[in-house]
Amino acid sequence: MVKARCGRILGEDIYIEEGDTTTLYFVNQLRAYQVMLAALEALDQDVCHDGCSLPTTVNKVIKRLSKLKNDLEVSNVVAEKKESLLSKIDNFLAEANRLPQDTSQTCRKSAGECIIGSDCFATGALNLINVVTEPKAQKI
Amino acid sequence: MQTEVLGNQIQGLNIVLGALQAATGGICKSCIGLEGAKTKVGKIAKKLGMDLQAAAICCEKTKADLQSRIDSLSKAAEELKVAEECACQKTAGDCKLGEPCFVNAAIDLMKLVQ
């Protein structure tokens, strides 16, 4: 089978066989988390560090990454590829775990420090996952 | 008010650049989308600098702080690593995530600043 490149995650080019939508699903999700986590790290340098939206988002990311890991574990992705992708999820989980997770802090809008309007950067960063529209989520 | 607007734009650009830096670590590095985004964020940083110079901010320290943040964002934009020869990675067949694009979505984060 011909293998084609479908992404580069944490510096490694990822190749999959044509039509392997199961592996492609996990690769595309990880491509999104790579960008999303960088955006959240940038937010952590800002007033969002002391707010509640960033930690709420980080907790969601951790939960979703953990689910993605479970889904990958029980999937039919070939063993070698599965190991490689699992280690990347572990890397992203470690990255996410270094970000704030205490949701008891006050929203920076309520505190009067975030004056960007009604939208929220943390939510915007989380929505980067919506860029991935193909392939559809696997039924596991 | 002008200080607030500039501060918000700077906040937004910082997040956009964080996302774009991550995109350079993916196949987007060779993508025409990222090449365009690099130009765009460079222009945004330049415009922020011009707006700051034209702004009526009487506190010199505030102005200097904002200028220094803009300078570092401008440098980060310049340093985005884009391949010498770029092509849309969807067209090249490498990017299979659907119609949307990480780079455009990252740039759109600026729209959160109202």
| CA gap A114, A108 in Å, rounded | 5
pTM: 0.92
What's the structural domain count of chain A? 1
The pLDDT, as a whole number, for residue B2 is 81
Give the count of beta carbons closer than 10 Å to the beta carbon of residue B49.
17
Range of the domain at A22: 3-131
Contact B26 A9 (CB under 8 A): yes
Contact A124 B25 (CB under 8 A): no
- pLDDT tens-digit map of B32-86: 999 999 999 999 999 999 999 999 888 899 999 999 999 999 999 999 999 999 9
Domain assignment present for A138: no
Domain assignment present for A56: yes
Domain assignment present for A140: no
The pLDDT, as a whole number, for residue A1 is 73
Q: Is the ipTM of this complex over 0.85?
A: yes
Interface residue A12 vs chain B (CB under 8 A): no
Contacts of B99 in chain A (CB under 8 A): 133
Contacts of B69 in chain A (CB under 8 A): none
SS3 A16: strand
**CA-CA distances (angstroms) from residue A59 to A45, A52, A99, A106, B22?**
18, 11, 9, 16, 20
Note which residues in 28-47 of chain A have CB less than 8 A from chain B. Answer: 28, 31-32, 34-39, 41-43, 45-47
The pLDDT, as a whole number, for residue B35 is 96
Closest residue, chain B, to A130 (C-alpha): B100
Contact B112 A119 (CB under 8 A): yes
Contacts of B105 in chain A (CB under 8 A): 127-128, 130-131
SS3 A72: helix
What is the residue-wise DSSP string for B75-100? Answer: HHHHT----SS---TTTTT---S-SS
Closest residue, chain B, to A30 (C-alpha): B26
Domain assignment present for A69: yes
Query: How distant is the Cα of B90 from the closest Cα of chain A, in angstroms?
Result: 10
Q: Which of A3, A68, A74, A75 is nearest to A30 (CA)?
A: A68
